[in-house]
């Protein structure tokens, strides 16, 4: 048996026993649906500036949205257009299925594509928000959209005439307090297993739960083809893509019944 097979068996056994699981997901899980992986949305701009001579972090900042919403929206719309038509993949589906079987399963995701929600996950902490939920910058109006097709860019608020924006965390903005509170509540209630999938864990609030588990003796797993900021502390590492690892783990959790004579 190879080292990877032993790791797969060990992780499958942990998943089969655990009732309270926190999945932490990043761009890598959505890459298997065809999305770019740089910060989950910006692979289009890797090592190049925007038409305005800005870095993508400058263009997609809260400061730029306030001063020049047309610039921020230009790149939000370009990113959304490149993601349009993609769907959740089997890794999202398996996580949602585990949640239906065990109400103690939660997902903390950096991704703004809403794939976990579309797959059926409801115990969901979208720490960076969702591109598909819009809110007015001037009044309480909100709306949900399947995509940005047909939207005036930047879109005006139909109630007050202000500018709508996606309910996402732009660069330089604070994380949503309610999402932080939900994560703290999940950790406070205790966990049996923490699984990090497709994230480099460079943000402290993404690496934090893995470090928390490490310090408390909670089993930790990483599913990622490359090395990350938490690779050196996890108990089990699967150097695999999410859509490759999750079906294999599911198969090992549900071995076929022996045929009857």
pLDDT digits (tens, 9 = 90+) for 177-232: 999 999 999 999 999 999 999 999 999 999 999 999 999 999 999 999 999 999 99
Which two three-digit tokens encode residue 22?
Answer: 């926190």
Q: Tell me the sheet residues that pair with 105.
A: 21
For 70-84, what is the mean pLDDT? 89
Query: How many Cα atoms sit within 13 Å of 167 on the Cβ side?
Result: 18
Q: What is the average pLDDT across 98-106? A: 96
- pLDDT attached to residue 240: 96
Condensed to tens digits (0 to 9), the pLDDT of residues 30-66 reads 988 887 654 444 455 656 788 888 988 899 999 999 9
DSSP classification of residue 50: -
Q: Would the pLDDT of 78 be above 50?
A: yes
DSSP states of 100-161: HH-TTEEEEE---S-HHHHHT--SEEETTEEEEEEEESSSS-EEE-S-STT--SSPBPTTTS
Residue 1's SS3 state is: coil
Write out the CATH class of domain 3-35+87-128+174-253. alpha beta
Write the CA distances from 55 to 39, 41, 45, 82, 203, integer angstroms: 13, 14, 8, 19, 19
CA 175 to CA 112: how far, in whole Å? Answer: 13
Q: Would you please indicate which residues are annotated as catalytic (active-site) residues?
A: 128
Residue 78 is encoded by which pair of tokens? 């370009």
1 has a pLDDT exceeding 80 = no
> Which pLDDT score is estimated for 37?
59
- CA nearest to 18, candidates 206, 161, 232, 221: 221
pLDDT above 70 (res 152): yes
Average pLDDT value for the chain: 91
Domains of the chain by residue range: 3-35+87-128+174-253, 43-85+137-168
Residue % of the chain over a pLDDT of 90: 79
Strand partners, 167: 130
Q: Please check whether residue 141 is in contact with residue 159, taking contact to mean a CB–CB distance below 8 angstroms.
A: yes
Which residue is associated with the tokens 């990622």?
A: 224
Q: Which residue has the higher pLDDT, 2 or 134?
A: 134
For residue 45, the 8-state DSSP code is: G
Residue 261 has pLDDT above 50, yes or no: no
pLDDT score for 83: 79
Average pLDDT over residues 129-142: 95
CATH entry 1.10.3470 includes domain 43-85+137-168: no
């Amino acid at each position: 048996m190879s080292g990877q097979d032993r790791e797969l068996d060990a992780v499958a056994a942990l998943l089969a026993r655990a009732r309270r699981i926190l999945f932490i997901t990043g761009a890598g899980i959505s890459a298997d649906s065809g999305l770019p992986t740089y910060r989950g949305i910006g692979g289009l701009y890797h090592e190049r500036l925007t038409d305005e001579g800005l870095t993508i972090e400058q263009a997609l900042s809260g400061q730029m949205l306030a001063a020049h919403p047309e610039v921020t929206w230009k790149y939000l719309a370009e990113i959304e257009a490149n993601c349009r038509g993609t769907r959740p993949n089997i890794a999202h589906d398996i996580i949602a299925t585990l949640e239906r079987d065990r109400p103690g399963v939660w997902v903390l995701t950096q991704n703004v594509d809403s794939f976990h929600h579309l797959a059926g996950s409801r115990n969901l902490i979208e720490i960076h928000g969702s591109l598909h939920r819009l809110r007015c910058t001037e009044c309480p109006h909100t709306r949900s959209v399947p995509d940005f097709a047909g939207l005036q860019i930047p879109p005006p608020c139909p109630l007050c005439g202000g500018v709508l924006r996606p309910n996402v965390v732009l660069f330089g903005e604070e994380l949503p307090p309610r999402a932080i509170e939900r994560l703290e509540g999940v950790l406070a209630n205790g966990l049996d297993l923490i699984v990090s999938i497709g994230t480099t864990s460079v943000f402290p609030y993404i690496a934090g739960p893995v470090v928390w588990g490490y310090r408390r003796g909670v089993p930790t797993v990483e599913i990622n083809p490359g090395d990350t900021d938490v690779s050196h502390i996890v108990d089990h590492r699967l150097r695999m893509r999410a859509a490759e690892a999750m079906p294999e783990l599911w198969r090992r959790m549900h071995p076929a019944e022996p045929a009857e004579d």
